[in-house]
Amino acid sequence: MQIVAFFNNKGGVGKTTLLCNIAAACAQDLGKRVLIVDADPQRNASFYTLEAPAFAAVARTGGLHRMLSNPKAPPATLLGSAHFGCHVLPGEPAMADLAPQFDVAWGGGDAPYILNLKSVLDAQRPDYDLILLDLPPTLNGLTRAGLIAADAFVAPFDMDMFSLEGLKLIKDWIRRWEPAWRGLTEASPESSARARFIGGVANRMTRDSGESSEQYGVITRQIDSLTTAMARDLADRVRGADYVIAEVPNFGEAAALANRLRRPIFDARVHPAARPVFVRAAEQMLANLERFATQARAA
């Protein structure tokens, strides 16, 4: 059972969209029991995956914020998402108030506070095959707590220069944080090390009519070497892994319609032809996870 965070401090690259659709493919096509945990105060994953009444009721029933701010409180309800086939631990706008507290905790080395998110997620492990953690598009203490809580992370990125440059920075930040993370791990030996990089998802790959297949090949090789270098530099490289988990096309209007209908992009009522894209992405993500787990067990 594994926890995978979707992380990129750049916003709008498709973290939430890809996470929810890959979650649905894992659940519907690969038979996995999947929990989506929404740690973003913007709670887009909750909005997207929950029916409107359930989403509205979170203000009353509570979500991740309630569980983090008072560990003794009765656990928030895990809600079912019929269209995605997953359970959801919803996000709450008040999560934004917790972010500064996580920053303070990091500053003071307050391991119990930082590891609270990990405890909340660990408590759910027995009931699921896979927990997918949606993180906000920032580098704040809450995000870093998420990267401690998860076993692995996937970095979705858009196919533009700023995004590709941003991807290179992620590994520098993680390497800079690692000593502090190691300190935390020592303080709490049952805690696993930071989330390992298991691959990127190239989002909105447009194969425009004007673009030659040669050019497309150049781009594909670029993102392959970029993600492989990232895995190598983070010392997260495992044998046999392809670090481009998926190349996801630009779905244009279908993505917007999917948001509006609160259904996966590959839903029968949206764009069923997209299903293989997400099933392959799900398979590839799980294969890399398995490779990592196997290597970790052997070590």
Ligand X SMILES: Nc1ncnc2c1ncn2[C@@H]1O[C@H](COP(=O)(O)OP(=O)(O)O)[C@@H](O)[C@H]1O
Site residues, Mg ion (CB under 5 A):
15-16, 44
Q: Measured between alpha carbons, how far is 220 from 51 in angstroms, rounded to an integer? A: 37
The per-residue b/e assignment along 60-95, b for 16 or more CB within 10 angstroms, e otherwise, is: eebbbbbbbbeeeeeebbbbebebbbbbbbbbbebb
Task: Extract the runs of DSSP E, i.e. beta strands, from the chain.
Answer: 2-6, 34-38, 79-81, 86-89, 130-134, 152-158, 196-205, 244-249
Q: Pick between residue 13 and residue 79 the one whose CB is nearest to ligand X.
A: 13
- Does 255 participate in binding ligand X (rule CB under 6 A)? yes
Q: How far is the CB of 21 from Mg ion (least distance, A)?
A: 13
Q: Pick between residue 136 and residue 181 the one whose CB is nearest to ligand X.
A: 136
CB 236 within 8 A of CB 227: no
Q: Pick between residue 144 and residue 204 the one whose CB is nearest to ligand X.
A: 204
Instruction: Give the number of residues in contact with ligand X, rule: CB under 6 A.
Output: 18
Part of the chain binding ligand X (CB under 6 A), chosen from 15-23, 52-60, 108-116, 222-230 = 15-23
3-state SS class at 218: helix
Looking only at the bridges linking them, the beta strands covering 86-89 and 244-249 are unpaired
Q: Give residue 166's identity as a one-letter amino acid code.
A: G
Among 13, 154, 184, 245, binds ligand X (CB under 6 A): 13
Q: Measured between alpha carbons, how far is 51 from 64 in angstroms, rounded to an integer? A: 18
Q: Among residue numbers 128 through 187, which ones bind ligand X (CB under 6 A)?
A: 137
198 binds, among ligand X, Mg ion, none (CB under 5 to 8 A by kind): none
203 binds, among Mg ion, ligand X, none (CB under 5 to 8 A by kind): ligand X
CB 192 within 8 A of CB 153: no
- Does 248 participate in binding ligand X (rule CB under 6 A)? yes
Q: How far is the CB of 13 from Mg ion (least distance, A)?
A: 9
Q: How far is the CB of 255 from ligand X (least distance, A)?
A: 3
Q: Measured between alpha carbons, how far is 8 from 154 in angstroms, rounded to an integer? A: 8
- Does 17 participate in binding ligand X (rule CB under 6 A)? yes
- Does 109 participate in binding ligand X (rule CB under 6 A)? no
Part of the chain binding ligand X (CB under 6 A), chosen from 164-172, 189-197, 244-252, 291-299 = 244-252
Q: Pick between residue 203 and residue 288 the one whose CB is nearest to ligand X.
A: 203
Q: How far is the CB of 15 from ligand X (least distance, A)?
A: 3
Beta strands across the sheet bearing 196-205: 79-81, 86-89, 34-38, 130-134, 2-6, 152-158, 196-205, 244-249
Q: Pick between residue 2 and residue 16 the one whose CB is nearest to Mg ion.
A: 16
Q: Give residue 145's identity as a one-letter amino acid code.
A: A
- Does 36 participate in binding ligand X (rule CB under 6 A)? no
248 binds, among ligand X, Mg ion, none (CB under 5 to 8 A by kind): ligand X
Part of the chain binding ligand X (CB under 6 A), chosen from 14-22, 28-36, 166-174, 186-194 = 14-22
**Nearest in space to 204 (alpha carbons), one of 236, 248, 264:** 248
12 binds, among ligand X, Mg ion, none (CB under 5 to 8 A by kind): ligand X
User: Cβ of 234: how many Cβ atoms within 10 Å?
Assistant: 16
DSSP character at residue 126: G
Residues that bind ligand X (CB under 6 A): 11-17, 44, 137, 203-204, 248, 250-252, 255-256, 259
